[in-house]
Structure 1
Amino acid sequence: MYKITIIAGARPNFMKIAPIIHEIQTATSNGHAIDFRLVHTGQHYDKNMSGDFFEQLQIPEPHANLECSGGSQAVQTANIMMAFETELVANPADLVLVVGDVTSTMACALVAQKLNTKVAHVEGGIRSNDWTMPEEINRLVTDSITNYFFTTSETANNILKGNGVKENQIFFVGNTMIDTLLKQMPNFKAPEVWDELDLKEKEYIVMTLHRPANVDEEGQLKAMIDEIVANTTDLPLIFPVHPRTAQILESLQISHPRLHTVKPLSYLEFNYLVKHAKAVITDSGGITEEASIMNVPCLTLRDNTERPETITLGTNELVGTNPENIKPYLEKLFKGNWKVAQNIPLWDGKTAHRIVEAILKLS
């Protein structure tokens, strides 16, 4: 029996591993000697991750929860490493599969290699080249000790080859986040705010901001929101907001009749809002992927992106972090000049199948 330990540390990780779990279950039912153990490091505590969450994704609740939330980057990394070492010693695996770029990804890869266990990285090779982002450090460290890379783009493949990774270690498979998106699209449901504000198709804008550079700098946050409000005509702005950001907004006394802050939404509710929005304004990498597949204009308030294919082939534009950049992009949006999404290679809903096929060959 080939045993795989799958690591997830934050809610988006579960979106990425759900289709992989489904494919492993299919392979097992087809007679392949393969099994998995799902380990949640507990890195991000999220009250929305109840039993319903796992039911919606049609995956089992984790076999183990290491409960390593809180603390500084260093403290959290250390806690995850100590807890996962105990877990992996008690439940040895042939392969540890890590996804994305959270602290858990890096910490568990390190532990696995120290215990002579091979590591596979889903979303290997992506880079923002911004070392001020903790995620970029996690990517660099993880990829430097990974055995097998499951990549989302040719750009990622070329980055890995440039770093000396051998061709036979790289598997260009596509994007598992899109597998989940395409599977769950029929299940999207309107959140309460849809009826409360009597929202209409393509007549509102969704906003998300969470990066410290945008939300912790009070002057920056205020300038950005002021620019967005000033240049979005009469459309409602729906802003699902983290409690910490809500406190900052309150202390800055930022309010406007069209700016509606709502509590964080479930995956199915949030993507319902994005799918029907005129546009999304964000600083999240994952949302740029989903918006591109749903052909929704996306304005990214960052100076760099680790997902260039969302710009070259998708609906994403890199607006930057200077609030003055926002107006021309919104003018372009309201003139109806936004680009249309093109086909992004292998972002077709079959990525997890390709990953498990590759794992079966490796096993």
Structure 2
Amino acid sequence: MPVPLSILDLAPILAGGTAGDALRRTLDLARHAEQFGYARYWVAEHHFTPGVASSQPALLLGQIAAVTDHIRLGSGAVQTGHQTALSIVEQFGLLDALYPGRFDLGLGRSGQRRKEALSELGAPPPPAEEHVVDGLLIPKPFSFAPLLASARTALFVRLLQQPGAEPPDFPDVLDEIEALLAGPITDTDGNEARAVPGEGADLQLWILGSSGGQSAREAGRRGLPFAANYHVAPAKVLEAVDAYRSAFQPSSVLPAPHVMVSADVVVAADDETARELAAGFGLWVHSIRTGAGARPYPSPAEVAAHVWTAEQRDLVADRVATQFVGSPQTVADKLRTLQRATGADELLVTTVTYDHADRVHSFELLAKEWLG
């Protein structure tokens, strides 16, 4: 039997379109995903990105839950540096109260990562070359440190946090989230604080990570499921899953490690058509890598008019090379390679095309090939 296959949706905004258009397409895609047999439907959290409408996962998930019946829904991921543990638990507790037993609370670091980036500036990058492991391409690593340490990011952080606030350490946030879900928090004087709704919510906690750092280790130490990002940081996916498994301690949640791995895919009837549909991906990634935030996904006319420089191609080479593009069989074969090389227990795919019908059809073709 194939491992479960799920969807990560960024609610992409298209060139010439609006956030409202993107969000309505997300609702439509979620309904189709349920019909196609996908296991989970996750939405991302991104801020200050002209090309992405998914900024508030809990709000969006409530809308998706209202138009679907049974598919599991989740966040990929709530950025814990931007809000308190209580607000996160209350938001997802409210969702669970209305639609019991359907939600995955995926958690990620955010402000904490920027602190590390500041210390990494000027340090020589670790020596690494593109290589292949068990058929899976592991490209040269890309450093996000200059972007995270930029003045532009500092502006974003100022708007995302209360004045003078500092993001708490990730383990402390996780401790508080787990405590609020389990029951009241009590101080030394016996005062109780309860998350209502939230306490006792039937949520599945996940931790997402793009390296073998703190997120992977915390997921393992707590015995929680872990989602590794091949689609964001393909160079570090093996490092991430190895760190998670090495740190894993059995828990009441899991007796053994459980890993989900993500991938960018575009599927069409044949390889050539799929390559045409995926042509805008490089330009879209380039806007992210230059620090401008994801631009609205470019139209075919914009893609045809763009003249690439060698420097631009080099900036996005790792993401373009690790996008799985082709016929259903071609992409399914590449996903099997990803699953084999990482030992993934589940796979999570994300797709962006300019035409919504092509995007829905891509997921339909892949589901039919993968699930039979």
Q: TM-score range by the shorter chain?
A: 0.3 to 0.5
If the length of structure 1 is used for normalisation, what is the TM-score? 0.36
If the length of structure 2 is used for normalisation, what is the TM-score? 0.35
